[in-house]
Chains A and B, each alone.
Chain A
Amino acid sequence: MLRIAKLPIAVFALFIIIFPWIAHQIPTIEHYPDIMVFAGIYCLITIGLSLLMGYAGQISLGQAAFFGIGAYISGILTANYGMNAWACMVIGMAVAAAVAALVGTPSLKLKGHYLAMATLAFGIIIFIIFNEEIEWTGGPDGMSGIPGLSLLGFEFDSVESYYYLVWGFVLVAFIFTVNVIQSGTGRALRAIHASEPAASAMGVDVSKFKIIIFVYSAVLGSLAGSLYAHYLNFINPSTFDLFFSIKLLIMIALGGMHNIWGAIIGACLITFLSYEWLHYFEEFEVIVYGAILLFVTVLLPDGLAGVPGIVKGWFRR
């Protein structure tokens, strides 16, 4: 799906702009903008991951680690050293990029899905570090006192202002990613996904493109982590565990990994499921997630974003 229409993006942007106003009118969904802040943060991660899975055909099971790196770098540097939050955000992204290049380069040069295993191991190691380096991270109890964000004297301290900040980032990341997909890079990525030998025969430097995409997804993950830390003012390691990485995978699979819209749809749906609709299942919600992932993998390989295509197929017959 190389062409991505501009109209849906405009409609979507408009919806995002008026959503807090709509939610404010209906008492039962008054708190939805708050959930949408988290959905937006997760969207940032899934946009990168969707590019990696759907277009580069690689799977990362350590995306929670990059999310955590961003969150902890922002948290530690602002709360303990009083550094400028925006500078810390950039530092976090730079560190995540460096780490991703370090972890990704060797495994992406190999054929196959070694990245899955390397990122899985990496993610668990980072999780253990968050737990063990108590001096820095506060250990399993987490760290609090992370300041909020402000820009030129304007404090992003209300839910609405943070909502627009986060979704502003999402929109920029989304449009940038769409442009990447529609450029020569995107064509190269599609070619890699279709057939690596064919792509490399046509002169595409397969591993270079994969590494760039992986680094890009890590940078977005780190940005999301920083935004998360400054919104909640508190972080603890359990947010960044293996299950969160799998949850991101579920978001992509549910939304549809071959379509960039899938990342948005999946992230929003799973966020609402876990913050709002699945309380009812309590501890057993993990079974629901597993069932969703299996159902989608077996029956809806293109995810929800593929449903319109299936429906169209019925009518054509």
Chain B
Amino acid sequence: MEKITLASQLLQYLITGLTVGSVYAMVAVGFNIIYNVTEIINFAQGEFVMLGGLTMVSLHVAMGLPIILAFPVTIVLVTVIGILIDRFAICPIRRPSVLTLIIATIAVSIIIKGTASFIWGKNPFDLPAFSGRNPINILGAVVQPQYFWVIGFLVITAIALSIFFDRTIIGKAMRACADNANAASLVGINVKKMILLSFALSAAIGAVAGIAITPISLMEYDRGAMLAVKGFGAVILGGLGSFPGAILGGLIIGSIESFGAGLVHSGYKDAFALIVLLVILFFKPSGLLGNIEISRIKRF
């Protein structure tokens, strides 16, 4: 066995951090998609990740569906849940204010969590890694192949989204809603449909993140809340509403957490990301890449 040097250990922390950070980044992107269109902070965002992971476990491990089939089916199922949330919790609210909409998503998140504990029980579940568990040695750091899958999914998601928002009519319509919902509806964009779509899209991204991370960190019914909080930390760090900011924020939060747990105190692992969130809120609420102009016209 090789001697573990400080450099290789730091590299290990960095790679682990970037991997976990990729998941936070995907959660953060999901937050931003819904926030940009509706100005809602969707507290149920983390539950999509949890549902993605556990649904995949059921389909692939319990029912024996091959990964190539279970993967899309899982995404579709979680997307349907995202749509149901909009139809039954967000749409019917009679006097929508940001306050009541946030409370509605909190309600949804605990209903989903409770239902998940009903379906899957309280134990964590494992999912076989996509390409085995033989670790790869990179400059002394031990890396599981699945790490590359997670980071790869983030890259694919980012590219797909930028094509969607820049090149397609629907994507452009969603951006129009994000800029000004009233003006968008004046030029014939169906804002309600765009809100529905934003929930579907961010549910799908959450599901991808959940499927990707489950082989590394397992998945259990109550993981959603913490994922949501850290994803939101990434959102604030990067700047509310900014997609590049969300990805950057996620990767930074993941790295801080990984280094903090390794070098400072592992018991406070979950606290580091939250302290970053508080510090950013206090000193630079517009975030690293946030747009102050946009934050002025939004209600949140």
Contact = CB atoms under 8 A, between A and B. Distances in A.
A141 interface: no
B141 interface: no
Given A107-B281, A249-B103, A298 B300 contact: no
Interface residues of B, number: 47
A55 B102 CA distance: 17
A106 interface: yes
A286 interface: yes
A128 B271 contact: yes
B278 A122 contact: yes
Interface in B214-254: 225-226, 229, 232-233, 236
Contacts of B277: 117-118, 121
Contacts, number: 119
A120 interface: yes
Given A59-B103, A121-B229, A287-B118, A113 B300 contact: yes
A113 B107 contact: no
A290 B99 CA distance: 16
A291 interface: yes
Contact of B106 (A118, A131, A246): A246
Contact of A106 (B118, B275, B281, B300): B281
Nearest to B266: A132
B271 A290 contact: no
A185 B100 CA distance: 24
B285 A110 contact: yes
A120 B45 CA distance: 15
A113 B100 CA distance: 11
Contacts of B274: 121-122, 124-125
Nearest to A300: B94
A283 interface: yes
Contact of B236 (A117, A131, A286, A290): A117
A249 B43 CA distance: 14
Interface in B98-133: 98-100, 102-104, 106-115, 117-118, 122
A204 interface: no
A289 B99 contact: no
A219 interface: no
Given A132-B268, A283-B117, A284-B114, A117 B281 contact: yes
A298 B95 contact: no
B92 interface: yes
B103 A117 contact: no
B298 interface: yes
A95 interface: no
Interface in B284-300: 285, 298-300
Contacts of A264: none
Nearest to B274: A121
A118 B103 contact: no
A153 interface: no
A169 interface: no
A249 B106 contact: yes
B98 A113 contact: yes
Interface string B144-157: 00000000000000
Interface residues of A, number: 40
A245 to B, nearest CB: 10
B225 to A, nearest CB: 6
Interface in A226-258: 242-243, 246, 249, 253
Nearest to A253: B103
A294 B117 contact: no
B225 A242 contact: yes
Contacts of A132: 265, 267-268
Contact of B107 (A106, A284, A297): A297
Given A113-B300, A118-B281, A59 B110 contact: no
A250 to B, nearest CB: 8
Nearest to A139: B267
B300 A112 contact: yes
B113 A112 contact: no
B96 to A, nearest CB: 10
Nearest to B111: A290
A117 B41 contact: yes
A114 interface: yes
B110 A293 contact: yes
B99 A113 contact: yes
A293 B106 contact: yes
Contact of A301 (B100, B225, B300): B100
A116 B115 contact: no
A294 B102 contact: no
B93 A297 contact: yes
Given A125-B274, A290-B114, A298-B93, A113 B102 contact: yes
15 contacts: A112-B298, A114-B285, A116-B41, A117-B41, A121-B278, A122-B274, A128-B267, A246-B106, A283-B117, A286-B110, A287-B115, A290-B109, A291-B107, A293-B107, A298-B93
Interface of B: 41, 89, 92-95, 98-100, 102-104, 106-115, 117-118, 122, 225-226, 229, 232-233, 236, 265, 267-268, 270-271, 274-275, 277-278, 281-283, 285, 298-300
Given A286-B110, A293-B110, 9 more contacts: A112-B299, A113-B102, A117-B236, A118-B278, A249-B106, A290-B108, A293-B107, A301-B94, A301-B95
Pairs A-B, 6 closest by C-beta atoms: A287-B114, A290-B111, A293-B107, A294-B107, A290-B110, A286-B114
